[in-house]
Amino acid sequence: MYDDRKYTEENMPKTGILLEVENTELKDINFGLVTAARDTGANEVLAFTTEELGTEAQNDLARYGVSQLIRLRTDSADITSSPDNCAAACVQAAREYGLEYCLGLATAFGRDIFARMAALLDVELAADVLQIDFKAKTAVKSHFSGKTMATVSLQETPGLLTVRPNAISPVEQPATLESSVFQADIQSQAKVAVKEIKTSDDRKMDLTEAPIIITGGRPIGKPENYAMLQECADVLGGAVGASRAAVDAGYAPHSMQVGQTGKTVSPNLYLACGVSGAVQHFAGMKTSKVIVGINKDKDAPIFEKCDYGIVGDMFEVVPALTKALQQEKQG
């Protein structure tokens, strides 16, 4: 796609990405972001982080094509104590490194920091994009709760974008990585302060980050029955979701809800068990790469809009699936 353009050291677009790190671990969803920023190898990717990363993480980043890893630091203001400070440091780094584009993940953290950056810089922000075409200077994002796709133009510099986790599959493209520290010189701009992070006891993979999701709808019947889906998710390396009907019935917390009024997810594989297939549910998961419906009604609407289907009782099909997957793993 870029064959007709010659990239030299000077005109190779520099794209910056803001990494997401949790408990000093680099999340897997960062690699798709690197691929998005790298764009068939035509861009130089600078990865920014507020935390110290180990050698393993550095090697992984190099493998996907990051050539500079830059730790953001400030002496004058605490980056982690306020999203305002973090955004101000990112803005300064974007200017200092002459970034043409800044990419983040459309997660709670990324959405917040990038919108703060957009406000500070007074430039456009393309939120939650699914594709980027750097050459045409456009990005594709959802409009009308996933019913249509909009192509928006990226006219300003730096171009700010957040990318839907898992929407762009990571592709390895080795680069030589150098690490450095960027000392941002910002006055504290903290208008909001992080008072506390409340952590939940049972730490699960976040739905929006999961490469595989198995969802249970209303027929799950009671909260305890989600254990059946969790068991399957554990073998798959995925997370468990719920429909709104199941959430409204009190079987699952709202944080597990997929759909228009819940989470928007884009996993590689989405297994919908006992889910009828309402448009509002599809609004949150239709960009999944493959959708499988498991429903006991052969005429359920879900089968009209998914890739593979099994007609059957989820209380039989799911355990059978878990068992078969476990057997595969063992031998």
Ligand X SMILES: Cc1cc2nc3c(=O)[nH]c(=O)nc-3n(C[C@H](O)[C@H](O)[C@H](O)COP(=O)(O)OP(=O)(O)OC[C@H]3O[C@@H](n4cnc5c(N)ncnc54)[C@H](O)[C@@H]3O)c2cc1C
What is the contact surface with ligand X in residues (CB under 6 A)?
A: 217-219, 243-246, 257-262, 274-276, 278, 280-281, 284, 295-297, 300, 313-315
- Name the residue among 125, 152, 148, 118 with its Cα closest to residue 136: 152
Give the Cα separation of 76 and 186 in Å (integer).
Answer: 6
Minimum CB separation from other proteins for residue 54, in Å?
21
Q: Measured between alpha carbons, how far is 59 from 282 in angstroms, rounded to an integer?
A: 37
* Residues 19 and 26: beta-carbon distance below 8 Å: yes
- 53's CB contacts (< 8 A; 6+ apart) are 19, 21, 24, 26, 61, 69, 71
- 204 contact choice in other proteins, ligand X, none (CB below 5 to 8 Å, kind-dependent): other proteins
For residue 208, the one-letter residue type is T
* CB closer to other proteins out of 44 and 128: 128
Alpha carbon distance 322, 184 (integer Å)? 50
195: Cβ contacts below 8 Å, ≥ 6 apart: none
Q: Given the complex with other proteins, which of 96 and 316 has the nearer CB atom?
A: 316
Task: From the list other proteins, ligand X, none, pick the one residue 326 interacts with, judged by a Cβ distance below 5 to 8 Å according to partner type.
Answer: none
C-alpha distances (whole Å) from 237 to each of 199, 209, 224 are: 22, 11, 20
C-beta neighbour count of 192 within 10 angstroms: 12
- The item of other proteins, ligand X, none sharing an interface with residue 132, based on CB under 5 to 8 Å by kind, is none
Q: Which is nearer to ligand X, 31 or 251 (CB)?
A: 251
For the CB of residue 213, give the shortest distance to other proteins in the complex, in Å.
Answer: 12
Closest residue by Cα to residue 132 from 37, 64, 215, 29: 37
- At residue 264, the 3 state secondary structure works out as coil
Give the nearer residue to ligand X in terms of CB position, either 110 or 241: 241
The nearest distance, CB 186 to other proteins, in angstroms, is: 16
Q: How far is the CB of 291 from ligand X (least distance, A)?
A: 14
Q: Which residues contact 119 (CB under 8 A, 6 or more apart)?
A: none
Rounded Cα distance between 164 and 168, Å, is 8
Neighbours of 107 (CB within 10 A): 19
In whole angstroms, how close is the CB of 274 to ligand X at the nearest point? Answer: 4
Residue 120 corresponds to which tokens in the numbers above?
A: 């500070």
Contact partner, 33, from other proteins, ligand X, none, Cβ < 5-8 Å per class: none
- Tell me the residue number closest to ligand X, measured at CB: 259
**Nearest distance from residue 105's CB to ligand X, in Å?**
21
Q: How far apart are CA 59 and CA 159, in angstroms?
A: 27
Which of ligand X, other proteins, none has residue 284 at its interface (CB below 5 to 8 Å by kind)?
ligand X
Nearest distance from residue 312's CB to ligand X, in Å?
7
Closer of 141 and 244 to ligand X (Cβ): 244
Are the beta carbons of 207 and 213 closer than 8 angstroms? yes
CA–CA gap between residue 305 and residue 212 (Å, rounded): 18
42 contact, one of ligand X, other proteins, none, CB 5-8 Å limit per kind:
none
Q: Which is nearer to ligand X, 85 or 288 (CB)?
A: 288
Nearer to other proteins, 68 or 92 (CB): 92
For other proteins, the closer CB: 228 or 310? 310
Q: Which entry of other proteins, ligand X, none binds 309, CB below 5 to 8 A by partner kind?
A: other proteins
Q: Which does 110 bind (CB under 5 to 8 A by kind): ligand X, other proteins, none?
A: none
Question: Considering the complex, what minimum distance in angstroms separates the CB of residue 1 from ligand X?
Answer: 36
